[in-house]
Each structure stands twice: as C-alpha cells, then as structure tokens.
Amino acid sequence: MKALSGSRFNALWLVLVAVMIATRFKHFGDMLHLPDASMAVFFLGGLYLRRHWTFVAMVLLAVALDWVSISYAGVSDFCVTLAYSFLPLAYAVLWYAGRWYAPRVDQGALSLLGAFGVALVAAVLSFAVSNGSFYWLGGRYAQPHMTEYLSRLWQWGPLFMRTTISYVAVALVLHAVIARMASASAAHEKEA
C-alpha cells in the first residue's frame, strides 16, 4: 500500500485521534461508552500512518487522556504503577507490526486477511507486555506467582483480544469497501 497523501493522512489521523478520545474513558456516560479502542488505533496507525512522530503523538495523547480521566473524570488510578511505563512498548508492538505489514496491503482480500492475522499476533504480544508488566511490576499483588498470573491472563486476555480485534476487523472491512468503491468509480470514469 502506498503512503497516504497529505490530506488523507491528516483526515485518517484525526479519525484515529477522535476514536481514541471517544473510547478511552467514560466521558459520555455508561449508556454511550464503547470499549477502549486504543490498542486497535495503534495497530491501524502503524498500518496506515506509519510515521514515527505520529506514534509519539498518539502515545502522548493516550497519556494525556489517562491524566484527564484520573484527574477530572473520577477514573481510578489503580493501573498507574511502575508498569505504566511499559505501555509505550505495548503500543509500539502494535504500531510497528502494522507499519511492518503496511507494504503488503493492497485491495485483495488475502492481504487484508494477512493484516488481520498480524494484528492478532501483535495484540497477543502487546497484551503480554501490558498485562505482564502490570502483574509482575505493578506492586498490586503481594506474592506474584506464575499460576496466579496465568489465571489472570486467561481472565482478561480474551476480552482484550476481542475488543482490539473487533475494531481492527471493522476497519479492515471499511478499507475493503472503500477500495472497492474507489475501484468501481475509477472503472466507471474510464468507460465514460
């Protein structure tokens, strides 16, 4: 997939920023709260935006949203421990997996299926980094041990994976629909 033009880059970046803001914390209340899309946003940002500075900007946005959530929206600071410093690494796993796969994406279904597979593997690794660092370094468990860690991994892992992969799947379906519409439009213009 070729790099996006400046206007498309800016538009997609604003969409990803809006999705992260809209889903990062419950500022619209419980009735309108969607699951956090941040991990999917990082994969999709790597896939489509690719630029390193954009990754840094998205990490800073995530930290700023967490700060606002904790300081002003009444969100618990339970997860803010030494392990929080590992979140940029967890985000980087997703971003750079998407960035690595980006040149392989075209309009074909197989390339989008490949993107989904890469997202799945990256999400597993990202979850291992974020959850593992929280469990082992977060100081929330008196005597951490592997059995408890594995039970918590199985407790939270499926929810994390389902949420992240669902957002990625929706984005890839949108990609396919938009690519098909653009292709049909180009073919129609060529005939005219």
pLDDT at 19: 94
User: Could you give the CA distance from residue 133 to residue 8 in angstroms, rounded to a whole number?
Assistant: 36
Residue count of the chain:
192
User: Could you give the CA distance from residue 119 to residue 97 in angstroms, rounded to a whole number?
Assistant: 7
pLDDT at 77: 65
DSSP result, 29-86: -GGGPPPP-HHHHHHHHHHHT--HHHHHHHHHHHHHHHHHHHHHS----TT-SGGGGG
pLDDT at 92: 98
pLDDT at 72: 73
pLDDT at 29: 46
Cα distances from 80 to residues 19, 86, 116, 122, 132, in angstroms, run 22, 11, 30, 23, 14
User: Could you give the CA distance from residue 54 to residue 14 in angstroms, rounded to a whole number?
Assistant: 11
pLDDT at 76: 65
**Mean pLDDT, the chain cut into blocks of 10 residues (192 residues total):** 83 95 67 81 96 96 88 68 87 98 87 96 94 79 83 86 95 90 77 66
Are 134 and 9 a contacting pair, CB within 8 Å?
no
Are 138 and 87 a contacting pair, CB within 8 Å?
no
Q: CA torsion 108→114→115→116, rounded to 10°?
A: 110
Predicted structure pTM score: 0.88
User: Could you give the CA distance from residue 65 to residue 21 in angstroms, rounded to a whole number?
Assistant: 7
The pair of structure tokens assigned to 73 is 């929206």
For 96-132, write each residue's pLDDT tens digit: 999 999 999 886 889 999 999 999 999 999 999 998 8
